[in-house]
Every structure is written in C-alpha cells, then in structure tokens.
A = this chain, B = another copy of it.
C-alpha cells in the first residue's frame, strides 16, 4: 500500500470525493471520445474524465511514457508496457489530481464531463477466453444434467476454459439483439431456427492481459499476476436453448458469440491492492492444485473481496436486484488462470481478455444467471413489482455493478456493465 491508497487523500475534482466508483484512490483507465472528438485514453475521476495524452507532458519519466502509450484509441500499447510504467502513472496521477495539486490549472482544460463523453472498448481484444471458475455456478449448471454428480472429475484439477468470440465483445450500453439459432426443445423431434426463447445473463469478472509470453514459453505461476493489466465486469450473454442443442461435443458457440458486454473502465491491480485476500481454503477432501498452479504468495493474496451485483430493469419497473455475490467465490485465482492458459505454451498478448466464469454464491440470493435462479426456467422469479421472469424478455436491461470495501480504505467501484435486449431482427 502507498500514498495512492491513503484514505485521507482527496481530489480537487470535487465530484471524486465520496464518489461511489471513482474517487482518487481508484484511477481506472479507459478509452473515451469527448463530444465531437476522437477516441483517446483517459482516466476516470469522479464524474469527469482526464485526457491522458493531453497531460502526458506534465508527467515524469515512466509515467509520461505510460500516458503517451495510453493516448490513442486503444490501450494495447499501454498494457504492453507492464506493471512498472502503470504504477508510475498511477502515482503521478494521484499526486496531480490531489487537492492542492500545483497542476490544477493545467489539468482543468483536459477534464471532460463524463456525461458528455462516449466510452469505447478499452483495447483491441486479440483473443477472448472464458473460464468456468465459479464453482457454485458450475455445480448449479451441472445439476441440470447430472443431479447426483454435477461437477465433472476434472473440475478441481483443471481451471476449465474455452475460447470465446473477440469480435462481438461490446462496451457497456450497447444494445444486444436477441439471437436466432437452432433450438430443439425436448418435446420436439427436430430442431427449428428462430429467436432464442431462453436468453440469459452470466455475471462474470473480466481480466485484461498486460504483457504476454512467447509461443512455447509458459508463464510460471509465481510471475502470472504481473501479466494482468486490470479488471472489468463482463456479461457472458447466453442463449440456453441454442446452447443445449449445439454444445456437444465441442462446447458453446453460437449460444454465446452473438454478444459479450464489458464495463468500460480497467480497474488496475494497484487500485484493488487493499481488497486482496487469501484464496479461501478448499473444502476438506478437495485436491491440492498441481505444482504449476501452486504459489504460496498467490494463495495468500491472490483472491479479491469484491461485492458483485446483478440488477434487472424491465419496461415496467426496476432496477431490481437479482443477485449479490462476491469474487471470493471463484475456485481459481486470476494468476492460476494466466498460468494455466499458458502452461502449454499458448501465447497471450496485451489486450487479451479473460472471463472468470459466472460468479455465483452458494445461496440463491447470489446466483449469477437466470439458469440457476429459475432452475432452467422451471421456477420463475417474481420481481418486486409482480412481474415474472424465467429468462430475459425484449426490453429488459441487465446491469452489473461491483464494489470494493474494507475498513480503513476508501471504497471503490467498477462503474456499470449494462445491456438492453432488442427483439430479434
């Protein structure tokens, strides 16, 4: 922990002080366009966004290089610099934006009202990989097929993952068109092509890759955390009826690749430092991870204590909370995901994106997908205004939020990951 985490530090940007998401202790990075302007890198501070390229000349050494690398329309070059320049940028920005900053006058013209800006994907995503590290979700989903044996034998050894579609990842706020596809309900003998009837959300954490590795050279678990540039919220929209029919034997494909939504701000590992916790001990009888996934320090500090919330806003009302869970329910750490993904020599690249898998809690109030909440659509959820949902309807908006809170530190948030369902075309 350092001066950037000091709870007494306040910003001259008044809206930052007490801001639910973006106090001066957060300083997340993203890509935005001011009204009528080009896309560029920025940092969120309260209700404003600071233009990084425009203030780079005010920053020293590594922080200046980092701001310059973040000045374009994607943060890949910034991610490629790794942890050192990212930390230098954070330290310098924290000083610059603090109350009493000597540079307040120089910064003011480069602060934009976030409400007037458009936010973009923060990076060009090379490859997108979706993990399955939410053990309660894996158990709940597995129960629908194998009630007595929901987790497959590999689950507690392998951080299971599959490749997703990079081209269809979209920034929060982008509407999501209900996909069409092949569905074959059990009561029908042949499939038909049409709009998905069982559209769902999946509440996931997103992990941005910073520096990569050369093909053929695994990243050791002890260095894996250094390869993470930051985190976001991720909605792995899922068409359950398409998934149920298509996914054997090679996994989900069209059930997922029509759209994935992410929150626009990259919350850095440094901002989350106060909210690090030990990986919760595995239940009695679970195997110890294999050596290439085991690191004492990662076990001691590799998990995060973050509340993650799913809200549903319908055309009639809301937003209503559908679930509240915590990132500590993930069975694998983020470093274990990096080490596993590269353990065969697969080359990761700056700007790759991982999804964590759906973060469900052990109890119903924290289930991260309607599949789990409604038992695959068999038991509707009743919303506070009396509406029922088995799956998502056209016009529904799903909103994810996350919040980090710990005594002695200023809480920070992630901003929203939001998407509204449009009718099938």
Contact = CB atoms under 8 A, between A and B. Distances in A.
Contact of A126 (B166, B181, B192, B253): B166
A162 B132 contact: no
Interface in A225-273: 239, 242, 245-254, 257-259
12 contacts: A127-B165, A127-B166, A142-B249, A154-B184, A157-B184, A158-B191, A165-B346, A167-B215, A180-B343, A192-B290, A193-B291, A216-B258
A250 B287 CA distance: 21
A154 to B, nearest CB: 6
Nearest to A348: B167
Interface residues of A, number: 63
Interface in A153-184: 154, 157-158, 160-168, 170, 177, 179-182, 184
Contacts of A254: 340-341, 343-344, 346
Interface in A203-238: 215-218
- How many copies of the polypeptide does the oligomer hold? 2
A142 B249 CA distance: 9
Nearest to A216: B177
Contact of A245 (B158, B164, B168): B158
A180 B239 contact: no
B248 A250 contact: no
Contacts of A180: 218, 343-345
B193 A292 contact: yes
Q: Closest 8 interchain pairs by CB?
A: A251-B251, A179-B344, A163-B163, A177-B216, A162-B250, A250-B251, A254-B344, A258-B344
A299 interface: no
A347 interface: yes
B258 A345 contact: yes
Contacts of A164: 163
B344 A217 contact: no
Given A157-B191, A215-B170, A344 B250 contact: no
Interface string A293-322: 000000000000000000000000000000
Contacts of A246: 154, 158, 160
A190 B287 CA distance: 9
Nearest to A142: B249
Nearest to A217: B425
A301 B208 CA distance: 44
